[in-house]
């Protein structure tokens, strides 16, 4: 499994451990079995999306992989949304997210080995949005948490 995928999955499992078990955590925007985005979903739901970019690291042309993580929070109420957002951002500020080797398997069947950590850098932005469309109540209370960071291997 590629390291970038291990970072992505580590966020999913980190959020599952961090948040109340009633919060559904999914890898990417919730879809049905055929990949069609769900209009109605179980609330509250948190989804994780990752993108990567390469930037010059030092003289000599080396590139460092940086990650942009976007966590979408979908909730029933403003209070529920805010509680989830504050829990996530509170744990991101000043903490690293452990990254595990999922080649051996996945929790709860396997307790994978930690291979490093995701280190958040720069700003953590939170955008609250409230969609007013009457036919789509699922997205009325939504927040987007957006931040960047890099992977550092365990010594």
Q: For the chain, which residues make up each domain, given as ranges? A: 3-153
- Token digits for 7? 């970072």
Assigned CATH topology for domain 3-153 = STM4215-like (3.30.2000)
Mean pLDDT of all residues in the chain? 87
Percent residues over pLDDT 70 in the chain: 86
**pLDDT at 44 exceeding the cut of 70:** yes
Strands (E), 44-140: 45-56, 63-75, 97-100, 114-129
| Helices 3-18 and 78-92, packing angle to 10 deg | 120
Q: Specify the length of the chain in residues.
A: 155
Residue 31: Cβ within 10 Å count: 13
pLDDT tier, 61 (very low <50, low <70, confident <90, very high otherwise): low
Rounded mean pLDDT of 21-47? Answer: 82
Give the per-residue pLDDT at 33.
76
Rounded mean pLDDT of 93-101? Answer: 93
The model's pTM: 0.85
């Amino acid at each position: 499994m590629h390291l970038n995928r291990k970072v992505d999955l580590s966020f999913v499992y980190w959020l599952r451990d961090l948040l109340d078990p009633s919060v559904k955590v999914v890898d990417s925007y919730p879809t049905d079995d055929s990949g069609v985005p769900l209009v109605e979903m179980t609330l509250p739901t948190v989804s994780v999306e990752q993108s990567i970019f390469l930037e010059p690291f030092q003289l000599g042309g080396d590139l460092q992989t940086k990650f942009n993580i976007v966590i979408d929070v979908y909730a029933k109420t403003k209070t529920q949304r805010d509680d989830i957002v504050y829990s996530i951002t509170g744990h991101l500020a000043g903490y690293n997210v452990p990254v595990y080797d999922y080649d051996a398997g996945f929790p709860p069947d396997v307790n994978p080995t930690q291979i490093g950590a995701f280190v958040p850098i720069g700003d953590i932005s939170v955008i609250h949005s409230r969609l007013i469309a009457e036919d789509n109540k699922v997205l009325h209370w939504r927040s987007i948490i957006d931040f960047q960071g890099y992977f550092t291997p365990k010594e």
